[in-house]
Structure 1
Amino acid sequence: MTTAAPPLIRQRVEPAAARASQLWKVYGSGEAQVTALRGVDVELERGRFTAIMGPSGSGKSTLMHCLAGLDAVSRGQVFVGDTEVTGLNDAGLTRLRREKIGFIFQQFNLLPTLTAQENILLPLAIAGRKPDQQWFRTVIDTVGLGDRLGHRPSQLSGGQQQRVACARALVSRPEVVFADEPTGNLDSRSGAEVLGFLRRSVTEYGQTIVMVTHDAVAASYADRVVFLADGQIVAELTGPTPERVLDTLKSLDRPAPLETEL
């Protein structure tokens, strides 16, 4: 007697939160031409905290800007979830950034005439969406701003302003949050508060964070660190510590420039 084989179970594979395939970015032309990214392939997993590091001019901020649809690519493909970013028109890019992406920058970019609560809810108001009140309270409790919602930016410390910016990035529950040097203007204590919040948003709420940083301590909050040099990914770390990050930065061999033309 033969036993029928069990049915084949097909698991749905979720797309990466963001990914790039053979990504090139070139600025200028002729003698002024600068190649910022050289054929970068990278996948950023959902529900993970990824840090991007590298020396000045390595292409780390350019990579983030291309992944977030803030900068057009010269060649290659970029996806956020299952949406291809490359090739979207201006309206499509605006919709993508409004609906699927959150941003946190070194400059807090808060409107001075609005309260903390109004700044946090501004992206939803622009999109004509009502906030999920339960999620809003969760975000506010997590960043510890419950007693500061009626304050304007000038009445908040730098750390509090950046936490407002973090809450603003997360309140719409985006597929991915891109953070460009989010602690660059903060003292060590305020920076640790912001990084702790970002870490909790990943661990407790499954958010996806991609952070550009030059700070080994900041990078140690991440699950994974991707290192760039001369526009190429040259190393990766998982489970980083400040010491391992510094050792990797010191050991990077800068690759010779490629002769490949676009």
Structure 2
Amino acid sequence: MGNAASAQDVWKVYGTGEAQVVALRGINVAFEWQKLTAIMGPSGSGKSTLMHCLAGLDTVNRGEVRIGDTVLTQLNDAGLTKVRRDRVGFIFQQFNLLPTLTAKENILLPLAIAGRKPDQRWFDKIIDTVDLGDRLSHRPSQLSGGQQQRVACARALVSRPQVIFGDEPTGNLDSQSGAEILRFLRTSVRTFGQTIIMVTHDPNAASYADRVVFLVDGQIVEEVTDPTADLVLDTMRSLDTRLGRPDEPGPPPEPR
């Protein structure tokens, strides 16, 4: 069955000359189907860059990125757009809801853009799971932050994507609302067989994952399975000593 998403020898470089920043250095990582994986690391470690490359939101300088069996790094812009529309879901820290649309319209927007009709039973099941039944006619400004993020979660799920990417999905929420979202993500993996990859800086959020991958300086340096918040915290502390740039940065990436 392969993996849900993978990166093989992936390099990502921004800028040139003195201003050059190597964001990802020869990353090799695979993400299993029907698992919740967290990506962690210090600020500037490359975790959001890795997620954006995996999701086809950003290109790589060298290496191969796959969603399922599809090699994203071989697709043109139209092909990437199709993958992002049909096979990938996104949950962002800022919710990214359209203020003029109701909760229901926001949830159904990806299907409307793709010209697809919603599966009513699936829609009802998602709404029941995120507990938004009495909020569907409300606009974002009439919802709490936690409710807005639940709308965003429902929107990510409604098209039945192969993989959902979450960029700090609880970053703007209080601890109670954040815990609700994390429980929902956990449920969507266990009950719906969803595959989720999320970037987080929060050890408690990471403890909901099946596996946590740690980045330092654009390289994967550690991973843990079945994490607890304490284990994640201890691992992060041990990585603090590894923040120096590698002496040997490896081969410079070739432009694609």
User: If the TM-score is normalised by the length of the shorter chain, which range does it land in?
Assistant: over 0.9
TM-score of the two chains, using structure 2 as the length reference = 0.96
| Corresponding residue to 2:123 among 136, 139, 142 | 136
Higher percent of residues as helix = 2
| Corresponding residue to 1:261 among 231, 252, 256 | 252
Supply the distance in 1 between the matched residues of 2:252 and 2:196 (Cα, whole angstroms).
Answer: 33
Deviation at 1:259, TM superposition (A): 4.2
Supply the distance in 2 between the matched residues of 1:223 and 1:138 (Cα, whole angstroms).
Answer: 24
Q: What aligned pairs does 1:182-193 form with structure 2 within 5 A after superposition?
A: 182-193=169-180
Q: Name the SS for the 1:86 alignment partner.
A: helix
| Corresponding residue to 1:74 among 38, 58, 61 | 61
Q: Name the SS for the 2:84 alignment partner.
A: helix
Runs of 4+ off more than 3 Å: none
1:7 maps to none
Q: Deviations over 1:25-44 (max 9, x none)?
A: 00000001000000000000
Structure 2 residue ranges without an equivalent (≥5): none
Q: Name the SS for the 2:237 alignment partner.
A: helix
Q: Which amino acid aligns with 1:230?
A: D
Q: What aligned pairs does 1:57-206 form with structure 2 within 5 A after superposition?
A: 57-206=44-193
Deviation at 1:260, TM superposition (A): 2.4
Q: Name the SS for the 1:177 alignment partner.
A: strand
Supply the distance in 1 between the matched residues of 2:119 and 2:67 (Cα, whole angstroms).
Answer: 23
Q: Which amino acid aligns with 2:252?
A: E
Structure 1 residue ranges without an equivalent (≥5): 1-13
Q: Which amino acid aligns with 1:119?
A: N
Supply the distance in 1 between the matched residues of 2:22 and 2:157 (Cα, whole angstroms).
Answer: 33
1:9 maps to none
Deviation at 1:173, TM superposition (A): 0.6
- Give the count of matched residue pairs: 249
Q: Name the SS for the 2:192 alignment partner.
A: coil
Q: State the structure with more CA Rg.
A: 1
Q: Percent identity?
A: 72
Supply the distance in 1 between the matched residues of 2:252 and 2:161 (Cα, whole angstroms).
Answer: 36
Q: Are 2:205 and 1:215 equivalent residues in the alignment? A: no
Supply the distance in 2 between the matched residues of 1:105 and 1:19 (Cα, whole angstroms).
Answer: 21
Deviation at 1:161, TM superposition (A): 0.2
Supply the distance in 1 between the matched residues of 2:152 and 2:252 (Cα, whole angstroms).
Answer: 40
Supply the distance in 2 between the matched residues of 1:145 and 1:83 (Cα, whole angstroms).
Answer: 34
